[in-house]
Structure 1
Amino acid sequence: MNLADKLEMVNISDTGRKRPHNEDSSIADPELGLAVIADGMGGYKAGEIASAMAVMTVLETVREGIGRLRPANGRQESGPLHPEAWQLLAEAVQKANGAIFQTAGRLEECQGMGTTVVSTLLYDDHIIVAHAGDSRIYRYRSGQLEQLTIDHSLLQELIDRGFYTPEEAEENTPKNLVTRALGIDPEVKVDLGEHEVQPGDIYLLCSDGLNDMVTDEEI
């Protein structure tokens, strides 16, 4: 089954009530099967620059490389089913990281800028996921919502280490302290994953502007 023919994508952004401008950037390209969301941070408008650079670099890199990918020749015993797709998406995020890091070092007004990123690529009826930071991807399947990424944040680290329960962490820890982002160091560690897509699946990519405001149940 070729689920790419049935793919529908929607891209929505809202500034919200707290800030005069939005530092998020996003794209949804049905022809490539690519979706990217980046949530920028930095000085005056530098966050917007970082997130826009991330989104455009990932888009351009995937567009240039997707023609070289080959469908999998059967189920792998271990490791990713589509290693070339993993490599392409990881390369795209690393290129974005390098571009942002170099720009931040070269332009005074961009010093300290960075961005989270979450990206998905639909390929051979699977989605490849790459992310760094606390932007998320959810899957809604058969009436159940599941978070497919783990936040790279101080709050999540404290939960993982057993210092807090999720409920206690929400009350005692700032939500917006990320432990991983693009543009901070010359290289960034990117978490990668792969999930088989089923007909009727809904995948939601979002920045923390959504999940900080509403619960998973409300989503």
Structure 2
Amino acid sequence: MSIQFAAATDVGRLRPNNEDTVLIDATLGVAVLADGMGGYNAGEVASRLCCETVVQSLREHAALWHDDPHRALLQAIRQANRRVYEEARTHPALRGMATTVVVAGWRDGQLIVAHVGDSRLYRLRQGLLAQLTRDHTLVQDHVDAGLLPASGARLTGYRNLVTRAIGVAPWVDIDLAEHAVQAGDTYLLCSDGLTDMLTDAEIARILRHTGASDAAARALVAAANAAGGRDNITVALIHCPPRAESGA
């Protein structure tokens, strides 16, 4: 089964700079997306360091990524966490910086996924969109505990308060999962600049109409900007074409 990648990022309509980063390594079969936070410029430093460190670690340990992708991915994210944490401690201008991260890597018909924070992974399968990651946010914790109805989560002003992030402490708790990939699947990694502006139904409609190309990534960004663009907007798409589409 072959896979195709696409990505797009935009500063949005209100923010002065883009604190999101997205990196794709098609050779490894990996997409990494991070949404930084912190003082002036620190958020973009955190997200860039995180993505670069994850990809670099997987490249340096390619044999481990091939033989034990779970361990390789956890090792890469822990290394990124240490790097962001130490950089923040060493440079006063970067103090307090942190970032979310979501990583998706294709290995032998499986998508290995790891994430920290509220950047998400979705799957579009046979026209139906499903969120595959759980947000590490105060609001989601309240929903899970039965203290807030799921229908109210999108409306609260506290929905973006993350409870886990890269670079906050020397150690980080990482969620890891594995999903069987089917031909025709499209996977979407995105920052909350997309999901705060568009509903899941709107995202699904765009993907169904535009496929999973660079044009689709740009269409998602454009729709989020048209809806207000209150934050940086970043998306990455992983598409597993059916045999007829891939020419097999």
Query: TM-score normalised to the size of structure 1?
Result: 0.90
1:103 counterpart = 2:103:
no
Query: Counterpart of 1:149?
Result: 133
1:175 counterpart = 2:171:
no
Query: Counterpart of 2:194?
Result: 210
The equivalences for 1:54-203 within 5 A come to 54-70=50-66, 84-203=68-187
**CA deviation string 1:76-99 (max 9, x = no partner):** xxxxxxxx1101001000000000
RMSD, matched Cα: 1.1
Identity of aligned residues (%): 47
- Tell me how far 1:170 sits from its aligned partner: 2.7
Counterpart secondary structure, 2:176: strand
CA–CA separation in structure 2 for the residues paired with 1:195 and 1:11: 21
- Tell me how far 1:67 sits from its aligned partner: 2.4
CA contact (8 A) 1:9 1:29 kept: no
CA–CA separation in structure 1 for the residues paired with 2:56 and 2:155: 40
CA contact (8 A) 2:64 2:72 kept: no
Counterpart secondary structure, 2:106: strand
- Tell me how far 1:70 sits from its aligned partner: 4.9
CA–CA separation in structure 2 for the residues paired with 1:206 and 1:91: 22
CA contact (8 A) 2:84 2:167 kept: yes
**CA deviation string 1:127-153 (max 9, x = no partner):** 100000000000001111110000000
CA–CA separation in structure 2 for the residues paired with 1:69 and 1:114: 26
Structure that is richer in helix per residue: 2
Structure 1 runs not aligned, ≥5 long: 72-83
CA–CA separation in structure 1 for the residues paired with 2:128 and 2:154: 23
Counting matched residue pairs gives: 203
Mean CA deviation greater in 117-126 or 172-181: 172-181
| 1:69/1:51 CA distance change after superposition, 3 Å | closer
Counterpart secondary structure, 1:155: helix
Structure 2 runs not aligned, ≥5 long: 204-248
Query: Counterpart of 2:23?
Result: 27
CA–CA separation in structure 2 for the residues paired with 1:129 and 1:69: 13
- Larger RCO of the pair (alpha carbons < 8 Å, separation 6+): 2
